Amino acid sequence: MADYIVRATAAGAAIRAFAITSRDLVETARQDHNTSPIMTAALGRLLSGGAMMGTMLKGEKDLLTLQIQCSGPARGLTVTADANGHVKGFVNNPIVELPPNKDGHLNVGGALDLGILSVIKDMGLKEPYVGQCQLQTGEIAEDLTYYFATSEQIPSAVGLGVLMNKNNTVRQAGGFIIQLMPFTSDEIIEKLEKRIAEIDSVTMMLERGLTPEGILEEILGDFGLEITDKIPAAFVCDCSKERVSRALSTLSKKDLDDIINDGESIEVKCQFCNKAYEFSVEELKELRK
């Protein structure tokens, strides 16, 4: 099953909902960055959440960036998404090994520890929108839930999960975001809270063969669920030699001269996908002009 996101409403549009299956895009990220299982889970959760949040953007060219700065050994993560299901991301430290947490699961919270989640929305205005909150658990789903409540004042429930195979490839990945609109009645809120407390984890639902539609049906089936959109999702990096050239050309002349005087070509890697671009001494001299 290829990765995709569904958008939906329920309870007469008092609830809006998103769900994703993201195994392929998380596996692509794992291969690109050679991440350990804990960091695959951390990056996979943030990629899945970011892809869904990207589809909340209104403009075709709008961009969303999720950035976690943290004190734990992960040292931070960055994910960028657009409105069309395209997402990319990287971790500052791809190899983190820790014992399982008290529930026997990959200890993502321990890898991140204390930190700040920043949500940056570039909507083509002079200044991007920036919202920030402290990490609550470092498990990412709870941190996004807290962000929505405090920075956007939208009561939300976020579920994210990544399940690994024994050979460290990605077995399952996905998630959901359920949000309440301001006019939602107390009765619906109470009923929804009760339902969310009863459901299986995201990875268990995926292991049971549930699609994104099936996940939302499981949560919102009694609320008059209406699926409105289905959007393909993928790990897509738009890097190119030209873009890397532009980045290199911002170096000071002294720094460029130092590199040129070494007399050897250099290799520059894209942070988001690890693709390497080689620049000869002649190309560097052209950039210096």
Q: Are residues 223 and 246 in the same domain?
A: no
Q: Are residues 228 and 245 in the same domain?
A: no
Question: What's the structural domain count of the chain?
Answer: 2
Q: Are residues 71 and 143 in the same domain?
A: yes
Q: Are residues 12 and 143 in the same domain?
A: yes
CA–CA distance, 278 with 68 (Å, rounded to integer): 30
Q: What is the CATH number of the domain that holds 284?
A: 3.90.1280.10
Q: Which domain does 173 fall in, by range?
A: 4-235
Q: Average pLDDT of each block of 10 consecutive residues along the chain (289 residues)?
A: 94 96 98 97 98 94 96 97 97 94 91 97 90 96 97 96 96 98 91 94 96 97 95 95 88 85 88 92 83
What is the reported pTM? 0.94
Contact yes or no for 48/173 (Cβ under 8 A): yes
Q: Are residues 44 and 168 in the same domain?
A: yes
State the pLDDT at residue 111: 97
- Around 73, how many Cα atoms within 13 Å sit in the side-chain half-sphere? 12
Q: Are residues 35 and 174 in the same domain?
A: yes
State the pLDDT at residue 283: 87
CA–CA distance, 49 with 193 (Å, rounded to integer): 20
Q: Are residues 166 and 270 in the same domain?
A: no
Q: Are residues 140 and 187 in the same domain?
A: yes
Q: Are residues 221 and 271 in the same domain?
A: no
State the pLDDT at residue 195: 95
Domain end among 194, 218, 235:
235
Q: What is the CATH number of the domain that holds 65?
A: 3.55.30.10
Q: Are residues 67 and 176 in the same domain?
A: yes
Residue with tokens 């409403």: 9
| Token pair of 204 as six digits | 């268990």
Residue with tokens 């990959």: 106
Q: Are residues 171 and 255 in the same domain?
A: no
**131, containing H or E segment:** strand 129-134
